[in-house]
Homo-oligomer: A and B are copies of this chain.
Amino acid sequence: MLVIGERINSSRKAIAEMLKNKDGDALVKEAIAQNKAGAAYIDVNAATMMELEPEYLKWLVLLLNEHLDVPLCIDTPNPAAMEIALRTHKGRAMLNSISAESERFNDVLALIREYKPRVVALCLGDEGMPESVDDRLRVVDRLLPALLDAGIAPEDIFFDPLVKPVSSGSTYGLEVLQTISAIKSRFPGVRTVCGLSNVSYGLPVRKLLNRAFMVMTVAAGMDALIIDPLDKSLMSLLYASEVLVGHDEYAMEYLRAYREGRLEA
């Protein structure tokens, strides 16, 4: 499982403060802690900074590239912010995200063609949020050829089925699981990713639902997750899940996490 650390997001109050105060030490610490806990990419999101977003993203990319040898996941729907972040990033970034929404599609695709990042591709078009597995697969059918044509290899494209709250539809969880399986079987080599927390919106004890949902996505074949790697319970279940689906031969990663005190019952 490829873990993308989600903590550096300006929608979190503590992170917004760090950004406003240009508290580089604290932000570097957040990034290092996530990497040590298992994140292969560090997501950076400064969307709540509004018109200052490009400037803050650029500063974040420079800062984190200087102090860590870990690629970033540039998380913004704004092509102007994307461009400045991709141009600044040393080595190969991940871009989160492109969608099939026509408003931004051409601009974002041009950036992908230019900078060749790994790409999170949302199952989202001009029709708005997908209503079914087929809605999602129709978007994949549109985005995949364009991304391949832009020079991105299948294994560098991560489709995000978009998770909706099960409180608004009892089949919304299953649809995501079925979409993952369908993408993996129809488009061999292409990868999948998602965040978890939307699934539990509107219900109490959200962490419980997020954790159970994560385990289910692993069983469905999920390749990457945008999560908080400092959530020890979540990560413990992730290690366990990888053993159970045969992704952790001889349970080596599980046993290492155990020896290092990273497993919590």
* Residues of A that sit less than 8 Å from B by CB: 166-167, 170-171, 173-174, 177, 199, 203-205, 207-209, 211-213, 215-216, 218-220, 236-237, 239-241, 243-246, 248-251, 254-255, 258, 263-265
Partner among B166, B211, B244 whose Cβ is within 8 Å of the Cβ of A213: B244
CA distance A219 to B207 in the complex (A): 18
Chain B residues closer than 8 Å to A208, beta-carbon distance: 236-237, 239-240, 263-265
B265 touches A241 (CB 8 A): no
Partner among B216, B239, B246, B249 whose Cβ is within 8 Å of the Cβ of A219: B216
Q: Quickly give the copy total for this chain.
A: 2
CA distance A95 to B166 in the complex (A): 36
Q: DSSP class of A's interface residues: helix, strand, loop or mixed?
A: helix
In the complex where A166-B251, A212-B237 touch, is A244 in contact with B205 (Cβ < 8 A)?
no
Nearest chain B CB to A231's CB is how many angstroms away? 11
CA distance A244 to B171 in the complex (A): 8
Chain B residues closer than 8 Å to A249, beta-carbon distance: 170
Nearest chain B CB to A96's CB is how many angstroms away? 24
Nearest chain B CB to A176's CB is how many angstroms away? 9
CA distance A254 to B211 in the complex (A): 15
Question: Which B-chain residue is minimally distant from A249 (CB atoms)?
Answer: B170
A199 touches B265 (CB 8 A): no
Partner among B174, B237, B244 whose Cβ is within 8 Å of the Cβ of A173: B244
Chain B residues closer than 8 Å to A246, beta-carbon distance: 166, 170-171, 173-174
CA distance A177 to B207 in the complex (A): 24
